[in-house]
Chains A and B, each alone.
Chain A
Amino acid sequence: MTTILSIKDLRKSYEGGFEALKGLTLDIEQGEILALLGPNGAGKTTLISTICGITSATSGNVTVGGHDIQQDFRAARRMIGLVPQEIALEPFETVANTVRFSRGLFGKPKDDARIEEILRKLSLWDKRKNAVKELSGGMKRRVLIAKALAHEPRVLFLDEPTAGVDVELRKDMWEIVAELKQQGVTIILTTHYIEEAEAIADRIGVINNGELLLVEQKATLMAQMGKKQIEVQLAEPLTSIPAALKQHDLTLTEDGGIVYTYDTHGERTGITTLLNDVAQAGLTLRDVQTRQSSLEEIFVTLVSGGKS
């Protein structure tokens, strides 16, 4: 694995002193899909804008493919494609010309075959001669993606690509992302839809208040999510785990109950043995609850500032 994007202690204070990024550090591997999950105002767009050169960092540094985004901005930016959160397009220009412009702007020679390929892939070929203002919102978003891909970037930023788009476009978008990954393109997307992160990401980062709260392989997170917990409340609270129950993986709750964690994917859950042993030990059950940790729960816990 090679690191393609390296962010070190990145800080960004806006004019007026608001600190939108508070020393963020993150390495992104070549060819991976990283989903940055965070509520509105978390700093996702600020992070992307700072990496792409739209805002300037207050301190810290970022390298793309080993090129510093400041000292070696040309080499760094040539590798990057950006699909911004807000739709912003020149309304009177045609779709094809708008996309051609982007390719030229990034210093790539004219290549109409390449432009055609991109437009076809995004179902924009039939609209190539239309002025941008004649397109629907979803189509405009496709144009933004086409523009970002026009110079064949190695790293693609998608800032909330599916916020407010229809189901069809969302599916297309996921397909395009998968295809780009096949070609070795690294993709960083931001979203506040957990399902989206679950559906396409290799790795998931949770960001809130300008801080990265967690970055983890999706597989690892999913494994944690496969875990289920059973909480047993007892008529008489315990102060310690009784010796008869020591063989089980138990923790004590604050009100003297016990919590048992098991894997739903496992062959045997061990619940029967546990409950038998509880009865054997002469303990009386007052209540039993089960709960499953989900990405949503992890996310909510992290974001609300609770302990994870």
Chain B
Amino acid sequence: MAIVSLKEVKKTYPLGKTEVHAVKGVSFEIARGDFISIAGPSGSGKSTILNMIGCIDVPTAGTVELNGQITSGLTDREITELRHKFVGFIFQSFNLIPVLNVYENIEFPLLLGRNTPDQKQRKEWTEYLIEEVGLTDWAKHRPNELSGGQRQRVAIARSLATKPELVLADEPTANLDSETSEAIIGLMKKINIEMNTTFIFSTHDPTIVELAEHIIKLKDGLIASEYRRDK
């Protein structure tokens, strides 16, 4: 079964008296363990689609299914729990919490909601993730003391805190130089293989697109092309 499935998804934003058709009817499926890039020029609807998959926005028409479950019609509490358990987020501008240090930022999602793991479990897992993204020496530092690449590593570790099956990254490399960008995608790929976590990242950088195995190209809110590269 596909981990993500979009069926005739449309999204319309009101804009003054008119409307913006950001996504105009998109269907695709993503398999578990996929490493997929959603590519397209600015305004093509990448962020909108990722937001709908990540349950922080709802489609105007059509359905989004995660693990076969239709996400529309859930209460905010249920949606939040679903996000918490099932989805991790990585953002273009890192979006770390400035008053928390590296360790605390990564641990943060574990402290939310009910069923908080105990202190020891949290510590073990957080330290493992810090090591996994190579920031062991930086655990006590706050985000403003880190470089862009380091911050995005923290964000990657945080996105994995609750062991989600799916990680969404909206232009994770847009604020990074090309070398760092490739390292970041490389790290994501490593985790994709090690943990079998599904990664969906958007980008408009052609060299980054090529690092994905499964590519969906958007244009004007529609799929322009979709293809897989052989591993």
Q: Do A and B bind each other?
A: no
Q: Which positions in B face A, CB cutoff 8 Å?
A: none
Q: Which positions in A face B, CB cutoff 8 Å?
A: none
